[in-house]
Structure 1
């Protein structure tokens, strides 16, 4: 009961925090303290079983893929007995074929908590600094960009989703080569693109990828979404363009943290 009350208090105080100062320290400690409780509950409720094994952050990409293949083999057996494993199996296979990440080292992780309010679009992962995860590392699934790490404890990390109103991602439109900034508008809403030239030749369904410009924390070429709205902009300074994320952010289970940076 004490741990539950502590968790509620931290969430209330830190619902918009970036992990700095006293609140960040309390949250980090609470995350590690609550880990055994959450893990025990997950063992009872989750038909799939143990979390997808993540890499230590220093192993080779071949080792990471070997762990994913082992997890896939486990899930294939589970899928025969439980329909609930089929979705996770598909996600694990997609991560194994993560071509847009190239040879970037990564830490595979499992989502253990999803957004609890409309004020903040974040998810929690079962990997932390002990696994090589650090603040500002990009997070992806098999389809594309999910968000970035904003808070880390020893065994847990918090991800700000691209749909969060505080999220801003430098992007490039793949066909027209227009450069813009994709901003979150909240849950179940399209992303909005800022700074799009009103005369730009933007097409619906055009792929939008990360630009990697201006020392961005996101490497170039990661798929973010596809254009869903591209309204003409006569007499305006910029064109109204909205993007639908390629990742199903409401159903995330398995993701990869890209170990970019120094």
Structure 2
């Protein structure tokens, strides 16, 4: 019963406050700007000021919360729109860059000054080696175009590798960086010869059999030697000398070269339809 009486008293006070508020508002609307009524209005405003402040403390955070939600949604949508625009711009820029690179590669393939009169077949790289055990690429041309196992593969910059397998529609090319690859080379400065071999992805190619008395200059171009029995014709650019060291007591220099072809960005290549001449008995 005590709880019921307290609840009834609270409801009575609430109703009284509401009625008083209505009365003050009515008086405020109808009354003038001074006199006794003005005193009543001021007293009423002072009496209800704590109630209004409490209401503002409840209502304002709620309003700020919903306003914040609206602004957050707007900012999130705008951010997503800007991200889409940036992605589109990057896609267009990358597409333009890729198209320009392909154009340059195709133009370079038309100017194989080192190929001489050797016939060629242009092809596109369609796949790379799925593992690190063998560094190869696959091209979209095969037997019907005249490609055979062992033929050299080049770009406008120089040697890429050689064909190690061929089918009707595809061919597999072993890259010059594969550890199983080797090629006879000639130093452009001295004319001395050696053998370059693969040493892994993005690694320089070591060159063996360079005599300690041979002058080797950093940056000089190294080309295929084309010696008797070589699997490559002479004069194909292979790389540039990175370093040359002579160790005490050694009969050979430690020479390394950087490939001229960027093997990580192969798109178009040419296969030289060339096979070494059989030795005459």
Shorter chain as denominator, the TM-score bin is 0.5 to 0.7
After TM superposition, give the deviation of residue 230 of structure 1 in Å: 0.7
TM-score by length of 2: 0.63
After TM superposition, give the deviation of residue 225 of structure 1 in Å: 0.2
Contact 1:131 1:155 in 2 (8 A): no
Structure-1 separation of matches of 2:236 and 2:97: 30
Query: 2:188 aligns to what?
Result: 174
Contact 2:149 2:165 in 1 (8 A): yes
Query: 1:211 aligns to what?
Result: 225
Deviations, residues 166-191 of structure 1 (Å, cap 9, x unaligned): 00100100111111000000111000
Asked whether 1:143 is paired with 2:153, we answer: no
Contact 2:195 2:207 in 1 (8 A): yes
Question: Aligned-residue CA RMSD in angstroms?
Answer: 1.8
Asked whether 1:232 is paired with 2:261, we answer: no
Does 1 or 2 have the higher relative contact order (CA < 8 Å, sep 6+)?
A: 1
Query: 1:191 aligns to what?
Result: 205
The structure 2 residue matched to 1:89, chosen from 82, 90, 103, is 103
Task: Please list every run of 5 or more consecutive structure 1 residues that lacks an aligned counterpart in the other structure.
Answer: 1-77
After TM superposition, give the deviation of residue 236 of structure 1 in Å: 0.6
Task: Please list every run of 5 or more consecutive structure 2 residues that lacks an aligned counterpart in the other structure.
Answer: 1-91
The structure 1 residue matched to 2:126, chosen from 66, 87, 112, is 112
TM-score by length of 1: 0.68
Structure-2 separation of matches of 1:114 and 1:227: 27
Runs of 4+, deviation exceeding 3 Å? none
The structure whose Rg is larger is 2
After TM superposition, give the deviation of residue 229 of structure 1 in Å: 1.0
Deviations, residues 71-96 of structure 1 (Å, cap 9, x unaligned): xxxxxxx99x7332111111000001
Which structure: greater helix fraction? 2
After TM superposition, give the deviation of residue 200 of structure 1 in Å: 1.3
SS in 2 for 1:88: helix
Structure-2 separation of matches of 1:116 and 1:88: 23
After TM superposition, give the deviation of residue 130 of structure 1 in Å: 1.1
